[in-house]
Structure 1
Amino acid sequence: MTDNAPRRPSVLAVWLIIAGIIGWYAAFSLTMDRFTLLGDPTASASCDINILVQCSANLTSAQGSVFGFPNPIVGLAAWIAPVVVGFALLAGARFARWFWVAFWAGMLFAFGFVCWLISQSIFVLGTLCPWCMVTWSVVIPSFYAVTLHLLRTGVVPVGERGREIADRLMAWVPLMALASYVVIAVLAQVRLDVLASFA
Protein backbone atom coordinates (compact mmCIF):
# COMPACT_ATOMS: atom_id res chain seq x y z
CA MET A 1 0.00 0.00 0.00
CA THR A 2 1.38 3.42 -0.93
CA ASP A 3 1.15 6.78 0.78
CA ASN A 4 -2.34 8.13 0.15
CA ALA A 5 -1.50 11.79 0.73
CA PRO A 6 -3.52 13.98 -1.68
CA ARG A 7 -0.58 16.36 -2.05
CA ARG A 8 3.16 16.14 -1.89
CA PRO A 9 4.31 16.71 1.73
CA SER A 10 6.81 19.38 0.70
CA VAL A 11 7.01 21.10 4.08
CA LEU A 12 7.71 17.80 5.80
CA ALA A 13 10.28 16.94 3.14
CA VAL A 14 12.14 20.23 3.53
CA TRP A 15 12.10 19.90 7.30
CA LEU A 16 13.51 16.36 7.15
CA ILE A 17 16.36 17.60 4.98
CA ILE A 18 17.13 20.53 7.29
CA ALA A 19 16.84 18.40 10.43
CA GLY A 20 18.99 15.67 8.93
CA ILE A 21 21.75 18.10 7.99
CA ILE A 22 21.69 19.80 11.40
CA GLY A 23 21.60 16.47 13.24
CA TRP A 24 24.40 15.05 11.12
CA TYR A 25 26.60 18.08 11.72
CA ALA A 26 26.01 17.84 15.48
CA ALA A 27 26.95 14.14 15.39
CA PHE A 28 30.04 14.93 13.31
CA SER A 29 31.13 17.65 15.74
CA LEU A 30 30.67 15.33 18.71
CA THR A 31 32.59 12.58 16.92
CA MET A 32 35.52 14.92 16.27
CA ASP A 33 35.48 16.01 19.91
CA ARG A 34 35.51 12.37 20.98
CA PHE A 35 38.57 11.74 18.81
CA THR A 36 40.25 14.73 20.45
CA LEU A 37 39.54 13.38 23.92
CA LEU A 38 40.76 9.92 22.96
CA GLY A 39 44.04 11.40 21.77
CA ASP A 40 44.42 13.64 24.82
CA PRO A 41 42.24 12.86 27.86
CA THR A 42 43.25 16.21 29.39
CA ALA A 43 41.96 18.19 26.40
CA SER A 44 38.65 20.04 26.35
CA ALA A 45 35.91 19.52 23.81
CA SER A 46 35.10 22.44 21.52
CA CYS A 47 31.72 22.88 23.21
CA ASP A 48 32.97 22.96 26.81
CA ILE A 49 31.72 26.27 28.20
CA ASN A 50 31.73 25.66 31.94
CA ILE A 51 31.33 22.82 34.43
CA LEU A 52 27.60 22.65 33.72
CA VAL A 53 27.43 23.27 29.97
CA GLN A 54 29.95 20.97 28.32
CA CYS A 55 30.34 17.94 26.07
CA SER A 56 33.37 16.22 27.60
CA ALA A 57 31.57 14.76 30.62
CA ASN A 58 28.80 13.35 28.43
CA LEU A 59 31.13 11.95 25.78
CA THR A 60 33.36 10.15 28.27
CA SER A 61 30.51 8.77 30.40
CA ALA A 62 28.97 5.32 30.15
CA GLN A 63 25.85 7.00 28.75
CA GLY A 64 27.98 8.40 25.94
CA SER A 65 28.75 4.92 24.59
CA VAL A 66 25.57 2.97 25.19
CA PHE A 67 26.17 0.47 22.37
CA GLY A 68 29.87 -0.06 23.01
CA PHE A 69 31.01 2.81 20.80
CA PRO A 70 30.44 6.59 20.96
CA ASN A 71 26.79 7.55 20.50
CA PRO A 72 27.59 10.19 17.83
CA ILE A 73 28.55 7.39 15.44
CA VAL A 74 24.91 6.30 15.51
CA GLY A 75 23.96 9.83 14.53
CA LEU A 76 26.45 9.93 11.66
CA ALA A 77 24.73 6.92 10.12
CA ALA A 78 21.12 7.56 11.13
CA TRP A 79 20.79 11.22 10.12
CA ILE A 80 21.38 10.30 6.49
CA ALA A 81 17.93 8.66 6.40
CA PRO A 82 15.82 11.82 6.91
CA VAL A 83 17.87 13.66 4.29
CA VAL A 84 17.35 10.89 1.73
CA VAL A 85 13.64 10.57 2.52
CA GLY A 86 13.21 14.34 2.32
CA PHE A 87 14.82 14.62 -1.10
CA ALA A 88 12.89 11.58 -2.33
CA LEU A 89 9.59 13.16 -1.26
CA LEU A 90 10.49 16.40 -3.05
CA ALA A 91 11.21 14.32 -6.14
CA GLY A 92 7.70 12.84 -5.97
CA ALA A 93 8.45 9.47 -4.40
CA ARG A 94 5.55 7.58 -2.85
CA PHE A 95 6.66 5.03 -0.31
CA ALA A 96 5.01 1.74 0.59
CA ARG A 97 3.43 1.40 4.02
CA TRP A 98 6.20 -0.90 5.27
CA PHE A 99 8.77 1.76 4.42
CA TRP A 100 6.93 4.45 6.35
CA VAL A 101 6.47 2.09 9.31
CA ALA A 102 10.20 1.27 9.28
CA PHE A 103 11.09 4.97 9.02
CA TRP A 104 8.72 5.83 11.87
CA ALA A 105 10.21 3.02 13.98
CA GLY A 106 13.60 4.64 13.51
CA MET A 107 12.18 8.01 14.53
CA LEU A 108 10.52 6.41 17.56
CA PHE A 109 13.84 4.88 18.58
CA ALA A 110 15.57 8.25 18.16
CA PHE A 111 12.87 10.01 20.20
CA GLY A 112 13.00 7.44 22.99
CA PHE A 113 16.80 7.45 23.03
CA VAL A 114 16.87 11.25 23.17
CA CYS A 115 14.35 11.31 26.03
CA TRP A 116 16.54 8.86 27.93
CA LEU A 117 19.68 10.91 27.23
CA ILE A 118 17.91 14.08 28.39
CA SER A 119 17.00 12.40 31.67
CA GLN A 120 20.55 11.12 32.10
CA SER A 121 22.06 14.53 31.38
CA ILE A 122 19.81 16.39 33.79
CA PHE A 123 19.32 13.88 36.60
CA VAL A 124 22.46 11.70 36.53
CA LEU A 125 25.38 13.47 34.86
CA GLY A 126 24.33 16.95 35.88
CA THR A 127 25.60 18.51 32.63
CA LEU A 128 24.12 19.90 29.44
CA CYS A 129 25.96 19.06 26.22
CA PRO A 130 25.44 21.83 23.60
CA TRP A 131 25.73 19.55 20.56
CA CYS A 132 23.49 17.00 22.28
CA MET A 133 20.90 19.73 22.79
CA VAL A 134 21.10 20.56 19.08
CA THR A 135 20.29 16.92 18.39
CA TRP A 136 17.40 17.00 20.83
CA SER A 137 16.03 20.12 19.16
CA VAL A 138 15.68 18.42 15.77
CA VAL A 139 14.71 14.90 16.87
CA ILE A 140 11.68 16.07 18.85
CA PRO A 141 9.81 17.98 16.09
CA SER A 142 10.88 15.40 13.49
CA PHE A 143 9.24 12.63 15.51
CA TYR A 144 6.06 14.67 15.96
CA ALA A 145 5.90 15.57 12.25
CA VAL A 146 6.51 12.05 10.95
CA THR A 147 4.01 10.56 13.42
CA LEU A 148 1.28 13.01 12.40
CA HIS A 149 2.06 12.47 8.72
CA LEU A 150 1.57 8.74 9.09
CA LEU A 151 -1.72 9.34 10.88
CA ARG A 152 -3.06 11.86 8.39
CA THR A 153 -2.18 9.76 5.34
CA GLY A 154 -3.73 6.58 6.68
CA VAL A 155 -0.49 4.65 7.00
CA VAL A 156 -1.65 4.16 10.58
CA PRO A 157 -5.37 3.33 10.31
CA VAL A 158 -7.16 5.76 12.63
CA GLY A 159 -10.32 6.51 10.67
CA GLU A 160 -11.30 9.63 8.75
CA ARG A 161 -11.80 11.73 11.88
CA GLY A 162 -8.39 10.78 13.22
CA ARG A 163 -6.77 11.65 9.89
CA GLU A 164 -8.43 15.06 9.89
CA ILE A 165 -7.22 15.80 13.42
CA ALA A 166 -3.68 14.71 12.56
CA ASP A 167 -3.73 16.91 9.45
CA ARG A 168 -4.76 19.94 11.50
CA LEU A 169 -2.17 19.21 14.17
CA MET A 170 0.65 19.29 11.60
CA ALA A 171 0.49 23.10 11.72
CA TRP A 172 1.00 22.90 15.47
CA VAL A 173 4.23 20.87 15.37
CA PRO A 174 6.43 23.95 15.99
CA LEU A 175 4.36 24.86 19.06
CA MET A 176 4.42 21.24 20.27
CA ALA A 177 8.19 21.23 19.92
CA LEU A 178 8.48 24.58 21.70
CA ALA A 179 6.38 23.23 24.58
CA SER A 180 8.73 20.25 24.80
CA TYR A 181 11.77 22.54 24.88
CA VAL A 182 10.17 24.56 27.69
CA VAL A 183 9.59 21.41 29.75
CA ILE A 184 13.24 20.39 29.28
CA ALA A 185 14.44 23.89 30.15
CA VAL A 186 12.33 24.00 33.30
CA LEU A 187 13.57 20.58 34.42
CA ALA A 188 17.17 21.64 33.78
CA GLN A 189 16.73 24.91 35.65
CA VAL A 190 15.03 23.31 38.64
CA ARG A 191 17.54 20.47 38.85
CA LEU A 192 20.77 22.20 37.81
CA ASP A 193 20.12 25.95 38.24
CA VAL A 194 21.47 26.62 34.76
CA LEU A 195 21.04 30.39 34.92
CA ALA A 196 23.30 30.64 37.96
CA SER A 197 26.16 29.03 36.04
CA PHE A 198 26.27 32.03 33.70
CA ALA A 199 25.94 34.64 36.44
Structure 2
Amino acid sequence: MPTRLTHTRPTALGVWLMIAGAIGWVAAFALTLEKFHLLQNPGSSASCDFSVVVQCGANLTSDQGSVFGFPNPLLGLTGWVAPMVVGAAVLAGARFSRWFWLLFWAGIAFAFGFVLWLISQSIFVLGTLCPWCMVTWVVTIPTFYAVSLHLLRSGIVPVPQPLRDVAGTLMGWLPVLAVVSYAIVALVAQLRLDWIGTL
Protein backbone atom coordinates (compact mmCIF):
# COMPACT_ATOMS: atom_id res chain seq x y z
CA MET A 1 0.00 0.00 0.00
CA PRO A 2 1.48 3.40 -0.97
CA THR A 3 2.46 5.76 1.81
CA ARG A 4 -0.17 8.40 2.53
CA LEU A 5 1.36 11.86 2.36
CA THR A 6 0.55 14.47 5.02
CA HIS A 7 1.78 17.98 5.82
CA THR A 8 1.93 18.70 2.08
CA ARG A 9 2.07 22.45 2.71
CA PRO A 10 4.48 22.97 5.60
CA THR A 11 4.07 26.72 6.11
CA ALA A 12 6.38 26.96 9.13
CA LEU A 13 9.09 25.07 7.25
CA GLY A 14 8.68 27.43 4.29
CA VAL A 15 9.14 30.46 6.52
CA TRP A 16 12.21 28.94 8.17
CA LEU A 17 13.79 28.03 4.83
CA MET A 18 13.47 31.62 3.66
CA ILE A 19 14.91 33.02 6.90
CA ALA A 20 17.74 30.48 7.08
CA GLY A 21 18.55 30.92 3.42
CA ALA A 22 18.75 34.69 3.77
CA ILE A 23 20.96 34.50 6.87
CA GLY A 24 23.22 31.88 5.31
CA TRP A 25 23.53 33.90 2.11
CA VAL A 26 24.49 37.07 4.03
CA ALA A 27 27.17 35.10 5.93
CA ALA A 28 28.52 33.67 2.66
CA PHE A 29 28.54 37.12 1.09
CA ALA A 30 30.43 38.59 4.06
CA LEU A 31 33.00 35.79 3.90
CA THR A 32 33.39 36.32 0.15
CA LEU A 33 34.12 40.01 0.72
CA GLU A 34 36.66 39.08 3.41
CA LYS A 35 38.33 36.66 1.00
CA PHE A 36 38.59 39.38 -1.67
CA HIS A 37 40.07 41.73 0.93
CA LEU A 38 42.72 39.20 1.93
CA LEU A 39 43.59 38.50 -1.71
CA GLN A 40 43.95 42.21 -2.47
CA ASN A 41 45.89 42.91 0.72
CA PRO A 42 48.24 40.00 1.45
CA GLY A 43 49.34 39.89 5.06
CA SER A 44 46.44 42.01 6.28
CA SER A 45 43.80 40.92 8.79
CA ALA A 46 40.15 40.28 8.13
CA SER A 47 37.64 42.57 9.80
CA CYS A 48 36.23 39.54 11.63
CA ASP A 49 39.59 38.71 13.26
CA PHE A 50 38.94 39.43 16.94
CA SER A 51 41.56 37.25 18.59
CA VAL A 52 43.91 34.37 17.91
CA VAL A 53 41.01 31.97 18.42
CA VAL A 54 38.00 33.95 17.17
CA GLN A 55 38.86 34.95 13.61
CA CYS A 56 38.03 34.40 9.94
CA GLY A 57 41.42 34.92 8.34
CA ALA A 58 42.99 31.59 9.25
CA ASN A 59 39.97 29.70 7.98
CA LEU A 60 39.72 31.61 4.70
CA THR A 61 43.40 31.20 3.86
CA SER A 62 43.66 27.54 4.84
CA ASP A 63 43.33 24.52 2.57
CA GLN A 64 40.05 23.77 4.33
CA GLY A 65 38.77 27.15 3.15
CA SER A 66 38.96 26.09 -0.50
CA VAL A 67 38.16 22.38 -0.41
CA PHE A 68 36.96 22.17 -4.01
CA GLY A 69 39.59 24.46 -5.51
CA PHE A 70 37.66 27.70 -4.96
CA PRO A 71 36.69 29.60 -1.78
CA ASN A 72 34.03 27.77 0.25
CA PRO A 73 31.85 30.91 0.58
CA LEU A 74 31.04 30.63 -3.13
CA LEU A 75 29.21 27.40 -2.29
CA GLY A 76 27.11 29.37 0.16
CA LEU A 77 26.38 32.16 -2.31
CA THR A 78 24.87 29.65 -4.71
CA GLY A 79 23.62 26.99 -2.30
CA TRP A 80 21.62 29.20 0.06
CA VAL A 81 19.49 30.42 -2.83
CA ALA A 82 17.81 27.00 -2.98
CA PRO A 83 16.21 27.10 0.50
CA MET A 84 14.96 30.64 -0.14
CA VAL A 85 13.35 29.60 -3.43
CA VAL A 86 11.87 26.41 -2.01
CA GLY A 87 10.57 28.27 1.05
CA ALA A 88 8.95 30.96 -1.09
CA ALA A 89 7.42 28.32 -3.36
CA VAL A 90 5.97 26.44 -0.37
CA LEU A 91 4.41 29.64 0.97
CA ALA A 92 2.99 30.34 -2.49
CA GLY A 93 1.22 26.99 -2.42
CA ALA A 94 3.58 24.88 -4.52
CA ARG A 95 3.40 21.09 -4.18
CA PHE A 96 6.64 19.31 -4.99
CA SER A 97 7.05 15.75 -6.23
CA ARG A 98 8.79 13.18 -4.04
CA TRP A 99 11.89 13.21 -6.27
CA PHE A 100 12.22 16.97 -5.81
CA TRP A 101 12.08 16.76 -2.01
CA LEU A 102 14.58 13.91 -1.99
CA LEU A 103 16.96 15.86 -4.21
CA PHE A 104 16.57 18.94 -1.99
CA TRP A 105 17.16 16.78 1.08
CA ALA A 106 20.34 15.39 -0.49
CA GLY A 107 21.63 18.94 -0.95
CA ILE A 108 20.77 19.89 2.64
CA ALA A 109 22.39 16.66 3.90
CA PHE A 110 25.56 17.48 1.97
CA ALA A 111 25.61 20.96 3.52
CA PHE A 112 25.09 19.46 6.99
CA GLY A 113 27.87 16.91 6.53
CA PHE A 114 30.20 19.56 5.11
CA VAL A 115 29.49 21.86 8.05
CA LEU A 116 30.20 19.07 10.55
CA TRP A 117 33.52 18.45 8.81
CA LEU A 118 34.35 22.16 8.82
CA ILE A 119 33.48 22.39 12.53
CA SER A 120 35.88 19.53 13.29
CA GLN A 121 38.60 21.09 11.15
CA SER A 122 38.10 24.50 12.70
CA ILE A 123 38.27 23.24 16.29
CA PHE A 124 40.75 20.37 16.07
CA VAL A 125 43.04 21.37 13.18
CA LEU A 126 42.98 25.15 12.69
CA GLY A 127 42.28 26.00 16.32
CA THR A 128 39.94 28.85 15.43
CA LEU A 129 36.28 29.84 15.51
CA CYS A 130 35.30 31.88 12.48
CA PRO A 131 32.38 34.23 13.33
CA TRP A 132 30.74 34.22 9.90
CA CYS A 133 31.34 30.49 9.58
CA MET A 134 29.53 30.00 12.88
CA VAL A 135 26.55 31.94 11.52
CA THR A 136 26.44 29.36 8.73
CA TRP A 137 26.62 26.54 11.27
CA VAL A 138 23.76 28.09 13.25
CA VAL A 139 21.35 27.97 10.30
CA THR A 140 22.57 24.79 8.58
CA ILE A 141 22.09 22.50 11.59
CA PRO A 142 18.39 23.24 12.28
CA THR A 143 17.66 23.38 8.54
CA PHE A 144 18.88 19.81 8.17
CA TYR A 145 16.82 18.73 11.18
CA ALA A 146 13.71 20.53 9.92
CA VAL A 147 13.83 19.16 6.37
CA SER A 148 14.65 15.63 7.56
CA LEU A 149 11.84 15.57 10.13
CA HIS A 150 9.37 17.00 7.63
CA LEU A 151 10.16 14.35 5.05
CA LEU A 152 9.84 11.60 7.65
CA ARG A 153 6.60 12.84 9.23
CA SER A 154 4.97 13.57 5.88
CA GLY A 155 5.67 10.16 4.35
CA ILE A 156 7.81 11.53 1.56
CA VAL A 157 10.47 9.22 2.95
CA PRO A 158 8.48 6.01 3.47
CA VAL A 159 8.96 4.83 7.05
CA PRO A 160 6.67 2.99 9.52
CA GLN A 161 3.92 5.06 11.12
CA PRO A 162 5.52 5.01 14.61
CA LEU A 163 8.65 6.63 13.19
CA ARG A 164 6.51 9.21 11.40
CA ASP A 165 4.82 9.99 14.71
CA VAL A 166 8.20 10.41 16.42
CA ALA A 167 9.34 12.76 13.64
CA GLY A 168 6.15 14.77 14.02
CA THR A 169 6.73 15.08 17.77
CA LEU A 170 10.39 16.03 17.35
CA MET A 171 9.37 18.74 14.88
CA GLY A 172 7.85 20.59 17.83
CA TRP A 173 11.11 20.23 19.73
CA LEU A 174 13.25 21.53 16.87
CA PRO A 175 14.46 24.67 18.71
CA VAL A 176 15.59 22.51 21.63
CA LEU A 177 17.40 20.10 19.30
CA ALA A 178 19.19 23.05 17.70
CA VAL A 179 20.18 24.60 21.04
CA VAL A 180 21.49 21.26 22.31
CA SER A 181 23.57 20.92 19.13
CA TYR A 182 24.98 24.43 19.57
CA ALA A 183 25.78 23.67 23.21
CA ILE A 184 27.69 20.53 22.24
CA VAL A 185 29.78 22.43 19.70
CA ALA A 186 30.41 25.26 22.17
CA LEU A 187 31.43 22.79 24.88
CA VAL A 188 33.82 20.92 22.59
CA ALA A 189 35.31 24.23 21.41
CA GLN A 190 35.71 25.43 25.00
CA LEU A 191 37.42 22.24 26.11
CA ARG A 192 39.74 22.29 23.11
CA LEU A 193 40.36 26.01 22.60
CA ASP A 194 39.25 27.82 25.77
CA TRP A 195 37.56 30.37 23.52
CA ILE A 196 35.78 32.07 26.42
CA GLY A 197 39.13 32.87 28.01
CA THR A 198 40.31 34.64 24.83
CA LEU A 199 37.38 37.03 24.59
**Bucket of the pairwise TM-score, normalised by the shorter protein:** over 0.9
Aligned partner of 1:20 in structure 2 is 21
Instruction: Tell me, in whole angstroms, the C-alpha distance in 2 between the residues paired with 1:54 and 1:90.
Output: 37
Shift of residue 2 of structure 1?
11
1:115-130 → structure 2 map (5 Å cutoff): 115-130=116-131
- Backbone CA RMSD of aligned residues: 1.4
Letter in 1 for 2:146: A
Aligned partner of 1:44 in structure 2 is 45
Aligned partner of 1:11 in structure 2 is 12
> In the alignment, does 2:111 pair up with 1:110?
yes
1:20-99 → structure 2 map (5 Å cutoff): 20-99=21-100
Query: Aligned pair count?
Result: 198
Shift of residue 170 of structure 1?
0.3
Instruction: Tell me, in whole angstroms, the C-alpha distance in 1 between the residues paired with 2:197 and 2:190.
Output: 9
Q: Is the alpha carbon distance of 1:138 and 1:2 closer, same or farther for their aligned partners in structure 2, counting shifts above 3 Å?
A: farther
Task: Tell whether the 8 Å contact from 1:53 to 1:130 is kept in structure 2 after alignment.
Answer: yes
Q: What CA deviation, in whole Å up to 9, does each residue of 1:116-158 have, x standing for no partner?
A: 0000000000000000000000000000000000001101111
Aligned partner of 1:161 in structure 2 is 162
Instruction: Tell me, in whole angstroms, the C-alpha distance in 2 between the residues paired with 1:48 and 1:187.
Output: 21
Shift of residue 7 of structure 1?
5.5
Instruction: Tell me, in whole angstroms, the C-alpha distance in 2 between the residues paired with 1:19 and 1:58.
Output: 22
Instruction: Tell me, in whole angstroms, the C-alpha distance in 2 between the residues paired with 1:14 and 1:167.
Output: 18
Instruction: Tell me, in whole angstroms, the C-alpha distance in 2 between the residues paired with 1:51 and 1:3.
Output: 53
Letter in 2 for 1:134: V
Identical-pair percentage: 64
Letter in 1 for 2:93: G
Shift of residue 3 of structure 1?
9.0
Task: Tell whether the 8 Å contact from 2:22 to 2:80 is kept in structure 1 after alignment.
Answer: yes
Task: Tell whether the 8 Å contact from 2:59 to 2:122 is kept in structure 1 after alignment.
Answer: yes
Instruction: Tell me, in whole angstroms, the C-alpha distance in 2 between the residues paired with 1:184 and 1:161.
Output: 30
Q: Which runs of 4+ in 1 moved over 2 A?
A: 1-8
Shift of residue 46 of structure 1?
1.7
Aligned partner of 2:190 in structure 1 is 189
- Name the SS for the 2:173 alignment partner: helix
Instruction: Tell me, in whole angstroms, the C-alpha distance in 2 between the residues paired with 1:131 and 1:63.
Output: 15
Q: What CA deviation, in whole Å up to 9, does each residue of 1:36-61 have, x standing for no partner?
A: 00001122212111111000000000
Task: Tell whether the 8 Å contact from 1:2 to 1:96 is kept in structure 2 after alignment.
Answer: no
1:127-146 → structure 2 map (5 Å cutoff): 127-146=128-147
Letter in 1 for 2:187: V
